[in-house]
Amino acid sequence: MTTITAAGPDIQSARAREAANRRAVRYWLYAVLVVMFALFLVGGGTRLTDSGLSITEWKPVHGVIPPLNEAQWQEELEKYRQIPEYQQINKGMSLEQFKAIFWWEWAHRLIARLVGVVMAVPLAYFWLSGRLEPHLKPKLLGLLALGGFQGFVGWWMVTSGLTERVDVSQYRLATHLLLACVIFSSVMWVARGLAPHSVGPASRPTQRFAGVMVLLILVQIGLGALVAGLDAGMAYNTWPLMDGALVPGDLFIQSPWWANLFDNPKTVQFVHRLGAYVLLAMAVWQFVFTARREPGTPHAARAGALLLMITIQAALGITALVLVVPFGWALAHHGFAILTLGFAVAHWRATVGPYPVKTRLVAAGE
């Protein structure tokens, strides 16, 4: 803990300066979250439009400049013609059709670079100007490093669809999405920890339950990534029945049996549905649990809000399913999942309480 000796008005001034620094850092991190959310939306659109393999090279710096003339566009299209997706699915695609998928992937990569800039430049400013509390420095530096690693993971995902497959590996897609969710959640955790809290921390059991909800949401998002990677949402578009039954047949036709959990579209969709039911039931339980342990507090109100958000998310998923996954409804389902995750993390952080003040202010002469 740092001790600052001050007298009279200087104490209030130092405290105000400390609060102002926390507020500035918090607003910056909220801005990072906004840009990251845009990245999630464009990434979801890229997947839904099957645009993710349109750029076949990883050029972290030069790739920010798109094709600028007809010759450059033809060069990009020719590279795309060399991969299995074009040869087996999109053979004969016109240049205009190629541009439509190219712009989705290019925008996704551009916003990813923007996230890096929005994270790195203000971090350097706050660090060099002495506005960062010491305990924040390793956390924020670690998040910046994770963001750079995420770029590599994204390219690792793309390479899975450039030689033998006509799409990317669902395993790598899930890894890419879950790492992005971990980064998003971590930024939210730090930002919310810098905010003033209207009430004190909740009881330990309430804190643990809030953390479990975050973990369950992450698992459900991962299951959703497997569904997206296998296009499993297109196979069975009835609810609540699936193939005319609550528990359809042929769930474990592959060997070994556990491979069905990742490679069998019917099983993957079924498990994702089960995950949604479990998550909704747990949200109800958490609301009742928190309302009883923390009656009349913002903690209980936020548990109710999280239950509402998870209910809306389930409704979006069902709607997208029965309408055979139209772009708008599917993207809404994807985007609202990220909003729900962010709120769940903020709720968890609020039950734990803010970061303690690391500076102790004493009057001169004490």
Residue 45: partners with Cβ closer than 8 Å, 6 or more residues away:
51, 104, 327, 331
For tokens 């793309």, what's the residue?
Answer: 158
Mean pLDDT for the stretch of residues 71-83: 96
Mean pLDDT for the stretch of residues 347-365: 75
Q: What is the pLDDT of residues 167-207, one digit of tens each?
A: 999 999 999 999 999 999 999 999 999 999 889 999 999 99
- C-alpha torsion angle, residues 155, 317, 350, 21 (rounded to 10): 50
Beta-bridge partner residues of 261: none
Q: Is residue 365 pLDDT above 60, yes or no?
A: no
Residue 174: partners with Cβ closer than 8 Å, 6 or more residues away:
222, 225, 226, 229
- Listed by start position, the domains of the chain span 1-196, 199-354
Report yes or no: 227 and 272 within 8 Å, Cβ to Cβ.
yes
Residue 357 pLDDT: 78
* CA Rg value for the chain: 24
**pLDDT band of 358, cuts 50, 70, 90:** low
Q: What is the pLDDT of residues 288-345, one digit of tens each?
A: 999 999 999 999 999 999 999 999 999 999 999 999 999 999 999 999 999 999 999 9
Amino acid at 69: N
% helix, strand, coil for the chain, step of 5:
70, 5, 25
Tokens of 168: 């990317």
| Rounded Cα gap, residues 112 and 149, in angstroms | 12
Q: What is the pLDDT of residues 150-164, one digit of tens each?
A: 999 999 999 999 998
Tokens of 122: 């203000």
Which pTM value belongs to this model? 0.94
Q: What is the pLDDT of residues 214-237, one digit of tens each?
A: 999 999 999 999 999 999 998 889
| Rounded Cα gap, residues 280 and 262, in angstroms | 23
Buried b (16+ CB within 10 A) or exposed e, 106-125: bbbbebbeebbebbeebbee
